[in-house]
Amino acid sequence: MRAHRVRALLMGGQACVFYGAAEFSRDTDLAIVADAANLERLRRAVDELQAEVIAVPPFELKYLRRGHAIHFRCRHPEALRMRVDVMAKMRGVDAFPKLWKRRTSIALPDGTRCDLMSLPDLVQAKKTQRDKDWPMIRRLVEAHYFQNSGKPHLAQIGFWLQELRTPELLVEVAQRHIMRCRRLVSTRPLLAQAEFGKLPELAQALMAEEFAERERDRRYWLPLRAELEKLRHAQ
């Protein structure tokens, strides 16, 4: 992707590995810019990977712009059977220019630079109806908290109050930063339970919050899934 100058950010399981919330991921998930020039660069990259489109939809700009993922399977000997999924639009996630400004760039041992979706954006992207994503969200935010809780800045405290899914840690942050917590209650009402250490009520509220988010994602995907079914039948 870098060799062909594809405007892309690593997300999904491999990004979670870099952030310390997972040990292994067999797929490569990328957020990309959905324009003709970037799509042509991506086409050259997947050609070099000897990658074929699997399933539906086909590799076309209009499907990326509508929110579909394009799925590839690589046949190059150095990436044999690696699956690569690309998306340009996700529910509740900002457009690519904002994601790019907030990206995390890391250097790999060989000197290659890797651009990742920022951790807050990655958390937002993982708020789906899939069972496997919610434990990952919890681990991502926990890992961020344990890495930065010594001397946090305001943005980090706000992120934890908005996104922590571990009741005990959420109580800890809320009680340590009460004024900040109270200012955010209007956007996340369950912080009221966190401030007063009501763990059973907080656990129930977190479950309800997750259920509501899953339902929003299910409704978002209804027309997209219907379109995929039509494409499968046509194929």
**Residue 62 CB neighbours (<10 A):** 10
- What mean pLDDT is predicted for residues 16-37? 91
Q: How far apart are CA 181 and CA 138, in angstroms?
A: 19
- What mean pLDDT is predicted for residues 74-98? 96
Give 196's pLDDT tier (boundaries 50, 70, 90): very high
Percent of the chain with pLDDT over 70: 100
Instruction: Look at residue 23 and tell me whether its pLDDT is greater than 80.
Output: no
Q: Give pLDDT, residue 22.
A: 78
Mean predicted lDDT score pLDDT of the chain: 96
Instruction: Look at residue 89 and tell me whether its pLDDT is greater than 80.
Output: yes
Q: Give pLDDT, residue 228.
A: 96
Give 24's pLDDT tier (boundaries 50, 70, 90): confident
Nearest to 43 by CA among 77, 19, 17, 72: 72
Instruction: Look at residue 56 and tell me whether its pLDDT is greater than 80.
Output: yes
- The pair of three-digit structure tokens given for residue 186, joined into one six-digit string: 């209007």
Q: Give pLDDT, residue 159.
A: 98
Q: Give pLDDT, residue 25.
A: 80
Measure Cα distances from 30 to 20, 112, 183, 233 in Å: 18, 17, 35, 27
Instruction: Look at residue 31 and tell me whether its pLDDT is greater than 90.
Output: yes
Q: What angle do CA 88, 24, 13 make, to 5 degrees?
A: 20
- What mean pLDDT is predicted for residues 53-58? 94
Residue 10 has phi, psi (to 5 degrees) of -70, 135
Q: Give pLDDT, residue 139.
A: 96
Radius of gyration of the chain (CA): 19
- The pair of three-digit structure tokens given for residue 41, joined into one six-digit string: 């660069």
- What mean pLDDT is predicted for residues 188-208? 97
Q: Which tens digits make up the pLDDT trace of 118-135? A: 999 999 999 999 999 999
Nearest to 14 by CA among 23, 6, 4, 2: 23
Instruction: Look at residue 26 and tell me whether its pLDDT is greater than 90.
Output: no
- The pair of three-digit structure tokens given for residue 221, joined into one six-digit string: 């995907």
Instruction: Look at residue 197 and tell me whether its pLDDT is greater than 80.
Output: yes
Q: What angle do CA 222, 225, 226 make, to 5 degrees?
A: 85
- What mean pLDDT is predicted for residues 100-117? 93
